[in-house]
Amino acid sequence: MPRAVYVLALGIFAMVTSEFVVAGLMPQMADGLDTTVPRIGYLITAFAVAMAAGGPFLTVALMKLPPRRALMVLFAVFLTGNVLAATATGYGVMMAARIITGVASQAFFGIGISLCARLTRPEVRGRAMAVAMNGLMLGTLLGLPLSTLVGERYGWRAAFWAISALALVAAVVTLAGVPRLDAAGSEGGFRQEAGVFRNPRLWLVLSTSMLVIGATFSAFSYFNPILTEITGFSTGTVPLLLIAYGAATVVGNTVVGRLADRYAVPVLAWGLALNTVFLAGFALLAGLPAPAVLCMLGIGLVGVTMNPAMITRVQRTGNAGPLVNTVHSSFITLGIIVGSSLGAVGIDLWGLRAPLWLGAALAVLGLATLVPELTGGRSGKPAEPTPPRPVPAASASEG
């Protein structure tokens, strides 16, 4: 596995930690910015919307740059947003900071995943995606609790300064550890990158990813109130359970990465089927501590851990270019927005078990999007329309 793949995982870890930090510090930020907790919640929504809507445009703007230089630009934008957040004097400034960091994060995902594809052989690409996506899993497992701990001990601004320092370290490591390559879009440009979106099958593939993540986040967004108000765990126990959930995602991501190259579609089918069972089981057994925890850990094993298989399937249907990967990340973010929003509506209408049932329904819809491939005899291994060029050891085109 090229060293650069691990380097990119560190950058993704920094981005994901920034995405989640507000969730752990909502009361402190509300006091510091003289606003309410619900308004602080909108900062999370704004970050996600900025990722989904703005990320592809920033990716297009950077397509003609060599990937390492593009990543440096994104680190600079990301750092600007985090420093602005750390020094924000009012709610409006903080909102602008979250939008800036959200757009930069999404573009980083797309360009970083595309670079992983260029750096690795096709037969191990799924494993490379799993290594890079461990930055996402570790952001959930370690980034959120550590940033929350820093914020609670030293103030919420310190958490944003800590993330800025982490991003700066990641930028220096990226500069040293990522090889110099030509711009991915230098031969075909935007038209070639965008041309794959005329393929209707690509949109079906993207919708699968949205539903996979939507099903998981419909439940994950409300684990805390479900575990405390229905299952009966204390508020002090829930963080430990969420750490166990995060550990399950790391394990699942590693296993899926090993299987994604050869069995992308079957892995997704089994993952969605098992997630349906775990989500429905959690809904039925939420009042019993042991079964509830087992179902929660099961969701961790087969939920967001489908990322390597999802990425592999998207790249084989479209291509491994930065625009396709960024749009795919936007669909994943859209899944988060849809899942958490539906969960909130469900709670208002039917109570705290509703997000779990809604998640199971979204997983079933995700399975339905796989039916054409599962019944048509496709193994999820079609040839890539525009395979990446062989990676030279170095290129003089990038300074």
**Per-residue three-class SS string for 361-373:** HHHHHHHHHHHHH
- The Cα 256–Cα 299 span in angstroms is 14
- The Cα 285–Cα 283 span in angstroms is 6
Alpha helices in the chain (DSSP H): 3-24, 26-32, 37-62, 67-86, 91-119, 125-138, 144-154, 156-177, 189-195, 200-220, 223-225, 238-285, 289-302, 307-317, 322-350, 354-375
Taking the CA atoms of 101, 104, 106 and 109 in sequence, report the sign of the dihedral they define. Answer: negative
pLDDT band at 190 (very low <50, low <70, confident <90, very high): confident
Contact 17, 166 (CB under 8 A): yes
Among 116-125, 161-170, 390-399, which stretch is predicted with the lowest mean pLDDT? 390-399
> Would you say residue 95 has pLDDT above 70?
yes
- Give, in order, the Cα–Cα distances in Å from 194 to each of 50, 114, 225, 304, 327: 20, 15, 42, 27, 10
φ/ψ region of 395 (left if φ > 0, alpha if ψ in -120 to 50, else beta) reads: beta
- The Cα 109–Cα 136 span in angstroms is 10
Please list the residues that pair with 160 across neighbouring strands: none
- The Cα 142–Cα 331 span in angstroms is 25
Four-CA torsion 341, 346, 348, 351, nearest 10 degrees: -140
**Helix 91-119 with 67-86: angle, nearest 10 deg:** 160
- Mean pLDDT (the chain) is 88
Structural domains of the chain, with CATH: 1-186 (1.20.1250.20), 188-382 (1.20.1250.20)
> Would you say residue 271 has pLDDT above 60?
yes
Q: What are 47-88's pLDDT values in tens digits? A: 989 999 999 999 999 988 999 999 999 999 999 999 999 999
- What is the CB neighbour count within 10 angstroms for residue 320? 25
Please list the residues that pair with 319 across neighbouring strands: 386
> Would you say residue 398 has pLDDT above 80?
no
Degrees, nearest 5: CA angle 127-189-331: 50
**Helix 238-285 with 200-220: angle, nearest 10 deg:** 110
Q: What are 208-234's pLDDT values in tens digits? A: 999 999 999 999 888 888 998 999 998
What's residue 379's pLDDT? 43
- The Cα 207–Cα 212 span in angstroms is 9
Q: What are 306-365's pLDDT values in tens digits? A: 999 999 999 999 988 899 999 999 999 999 889 988 988 898 899 999 999 999 999 999
